[in-house]
Homo-oligomer: A and B are copies of this chain.
């Protein structure tokens, strides 16, 4: 395990977290979150999504957030785009990166996007062409969701995930990540799938997205890290839970992930105390919404050597 190389934690709470919460967070709070996360050392933030506001009114202020995020020094501003139309909005906004989700589960893909995985691959080609035609340097990233199983379909074959990894790269994606969207992955499965995906994609396999729904979030992050992954998604306070499992945890918590790596001496650039202060503010802004994660409840150990 090479511990000298730093890792990147991408904060996705402003998009992935907030979209699963019914109420809309006021833009002023989002901007405070954005600025405070940046001040705490976060250098990549998914600030919103270019989906129609009637579908996700919680994220209707994405253009404004991109504008402010672009003004923060050293920050990579990332947005989610569901299709070519969203990608064009992302290119217009000046975001640094756009993430297109592609579900490896046929059933999940049809239910969520009304497209088959291969139809999404076709859209990636069109997005890449539009990006290049615009002369934009906006990174095109694809997140392969339900890569470890699906609540609708059940098992998802690793061979199908790997086929899609190749297909999205061939279609023009700059980088690709694997996501355990529903919290089904186990560490051994993570090791095997990330190793095989790396053999195909090399350094273009660039992100692990894990949920802590069944308590294995940190163990799965460790497994992916041991295969060479150096970039992970996380949500402050572990928000972004599945509405089908009330009370269950959601995405791995940013502050817990930052603590995991700090405890091992792996540089993240993050200020843990500042992250915990921001989490306390989030708890006030989302009063009544359950937050998750362990380190905020237990406190930092007195043995921790802070390696920022």
Binding site for B on A (CB under 8 A): 1, 3, 149, 151, 154-155, 182-184, 186-189, 191, 212-216, 218-219, 221-223, 245, 247-249, 253, 256, 259-260, 263-265, 293-295, 297-299, 301-303
Contacts and interface: CB of A to CB of B under 8 A. Distances in A.
Nearest to A302: B154
**Smallest CB-CB A-B distances: 10 pairs:** A215-B294, A186-B263, A248-B298, A149-B303, A188-B264, A218-B219, A184-B301, A219-B219, A247-B297, A215-B256
Nearest to A155: B303
A302 B105 CA distance: 14
Nearest to A182: B301
Nearest to A293: B215
A298 B182 CA distance: 10
Specify which of A245, A253, A260 lies most central, judged by the most chain B CB atoms within 10 Å of its CB: A260
Given A187-B264, A188-B3, A219-B222, A214 B259 contact: yes
B294 A213 contact: yes
Contacts of A188: 1, 3, 264-265
A141 B154 CA distance: 43
Contacts of A215: 218, 253, 256, 259-260, 293-295, 298
A260 to B, nearest CB: 6
B259 A184 contact: no
Contact of A298 (B223, B245, B253, B265): B245
A260 B216 contact: yes
B260 A298 contact: no
Nearest to A249: B294
Nearest to A247: B297
Given A155-B303, A186-B263, A216 B218 contact: yes
A219 B301 CA distance: 17
Specify which of A155, A183, A248, A298 lies most central, judged by the most chain B CB atoms within 10 Å of its CB: A298
Contacts of A265: 188
Given A151-B301, A187-B222, 10 more contacts: A1-B188, A151-B302, A189-B264, A212-B294, A214-B298, A214-B301, A215-B256, A215-B259, A216-B218, A245-B297
Contacts of A214: 256, 259, 263, 294-295, 298, 301
B149 A299 contact: no
Specify which of A189, A222, A295 lies most central, judged by the most chain B CB atoms within 10 Å of its CB: A222
Contacts of A303: 149, 154-155, 184
Contacts of A3: 188
Contacts of A298: 183, 213-215, 245, 248-249
A250 B151 CA distance: 30
A72 B116 CA distance: 55
Nearest to A259: B214
